[in-house]
Amino acid sequence: MREGCCVGLTYFMTKSARRWLGLGATALVLGLIVFNVTRNPEWRSFDWKRFWLSTTHARPSFLLLAVTTAYLSYAVRAVRWKYFLDPIKSGSLWILFAGQILGFSSIYLIGRPGELVRPAYIAKREHVSFASQLAILLLERIYDTVAIVLLFGLALYFQPLHPRTAHGMAALRRVRETAQSVVLVAGLLIAGLVAFRLYSEKLVTHFERRFRFIPTRARVGFERFLRSLAQGLDAIRNWRDLLASVAWTIVLWFLNTTVFWLVFRSLNGELQSISWWAAAMTIFFAAIGLLVQLPGVGGGYQVGIVEALRRVLHVGAEAATSAGILMWIVAFVPCVALALLILLYEGLSFKRLRGIADEKKAESVVSRP
């Protein structure tokens, strides 16, 4: 027992150390980004009064529409998840909607560890395997990545950019090349997932025959994971289903881009005339910024928006900063506020949600014979 306690303590300390190390690295990266950005001469002449007036005089009607559209996007995510889940079980739209709100609010509050809240919550409430919901999460992430990159490509077509310097031209060329690479990789992943779903039984049988030298516990556990993964990928078992899920993804990213556009239009001055395609371009850089986030305060998300508006669309620093902050508020506050109401209704807490995610991870390990 004493040995077990020591092992548990070592694991806890290691987990805690990993978390703090990750937060420290993220804070360092964000600090370096902000430091380099603010060294630009434009930031030295930053007009705080103009920034304050721009932010506080944002038009409430546009912000209300943006919040409503954001909630609608979570509903569309729930419908898409229901579509993915239907081959396994006919899920409750309310549970799936609550799962989206609780999952994204957990990401906003606790960072990337909150990613597992959605699949864990849905698996627990719908009584399905955690692995199948992880498979749906993976599928969702691939769809969304492809959608963002394609949206950016279309935005470049409908809103051509004309960099003012050779450095800007080179940067734009690198962004385009990166976007093309991401689309290619994501497309290959989708094709691989479709192939795996169609031939999963043959692949599992092949694995059983060829890898008998692996310890039985590990081999059987991995085989069970592959079957759960195939079950979670049932939604792409044919081309008709694949096209339907793509259609829901198009609706989702139309709404997501519209949220950005409405927030930008709410501000006075130069952002009032910004196009929908310019907002689509900005969302690409915001998504990149999400890779570097601090729980509760964001950081990379806002920097991505501000830098896209300033460097790509040539918006003034004050207006761009107002847009970045307002966009974070519109994304963060309504989601967390609704999450708190759902938690109150269901008698849960964010700590308990994290516990559910840890519990489901543990179950997926223990259930392997």
Residues 199-217 have pLDDT tens digits of 777 777 777 777 777 777 7
Which has the higher per-residue pLDDT, 268 or 339?
Answer: 339
Which of 140, 8, 143 lies closest to 78, judged by CA? 140
Which has the higher per-residue pLDDT, 175 or 365?
Answer: 175
User: Max Cα separation, the chain?
Assistant: 71
Residues sharing a CB contact under 8 Å with residue 160, sequence separation 6 or more, in sequence order: none
Please give the Cα distance from 122 to 52 (Å, whole number).
Answer: 42
Please give the Cα distance from 58 to 67 (Å, whole number).
Answer: 14
Q: What is the pTM of this model?
A: 0.76
267 phi/psi in degrees, rounded to 5: -85, 145
Across 82-91, 252-261, 331-340, the highest mean pLDDT is recorded for 252-261
SS (H, E, C) 9-60: HHHHHHHHHHHHHHHHHHHHHHHHHHHHHHCCHHHHCCCHHHHHHHHHCCCH
pLDDT confidence of residue 7: 42
pLDDT confidence of residue 72: 97
Question: 329 burial class (0-12, 13-18, 19+ CB within 10 angstroms)?
Answer: middle
Residues 234-293 have pLDDT tens digits of 666 667 777 888 899 999 999 999 999 999 998 877 888 889 999 998 998 888 877 665
- Secondary structure element (H or E) that encloses residue 77, with its range: helix 60-85
pLDDT confidence of residue 292: 60
Which of 345, 291, 263 lies closest to 112, judged by CA? 291
Tell me what percent of the chain is helix, strand and coil, each rounded to the nearest 5: 85, 0, 15
Q: What is the mean pLDDT of residues 31-56?
A: 54
pLDDT confidence of residue 71: 96
Is a pLDDT exceeding 70 seen at residue 51? no
Partners of 294 in the β-ladder: 298
Q: What is the mean pLDDT of residues 191-195?
A: 75
pLDDT confidence of residue 49: 61
Amino acid at 9: L
Which has the higher per-residue pLDDT, 133 or 42?
Answer: 133
Strands (E), the chain: 293-294, 298-299
Q: Is 230 helix (H, G, I), strand (E, B) or coil?
A: helix
353 phi/psi in degrees, rounded to 5: -60, -45
Is a pLDDT exceeding 60 seen at residue 172? yes
Q: Residues of 168-190 as b/e, b for ≥16 C-beta within 10 angstroms?
A: eeeeeeebeeebeebbeebeebb
Q: Where are the domains of the chain?
A: 59-366
Q: Yes or no: say if 133 and 119 are a contact pair by the CB < 8 Å rule.
A: yes
Please give the Cα distance from 24 to 1 (Å, whole number).
Answer: 34
- Secondary structure element (H or E) that encloses residue 289, with its range: helix 276-289
Please give the Cα distance from 212 to 206 (Å, whole number).
Answer: 10
Tokens, residue 3: 């040995």
pLDDT confidence of residue 294: 53
Q: What is the mean pLDDT of residues 36-49?
A: 52
pLDDT confidence of residue 267: 87
Across 31-35, 45-49, 144-148, the highest mean pLDDT is recorded for 144-148
Is a pLDDT exceeding 70 seen at residue 184? yes
298 phi/psi in degrees, rounded to 5: 70, -125
Across 12-16, 138-142, 163-167, the highest mean pLDDT is recorded for 138-142
Please give the Cα distance from 97 to 93 (Å, whole number).
Answer: 6
pLDDT confidence of residue 149: 83
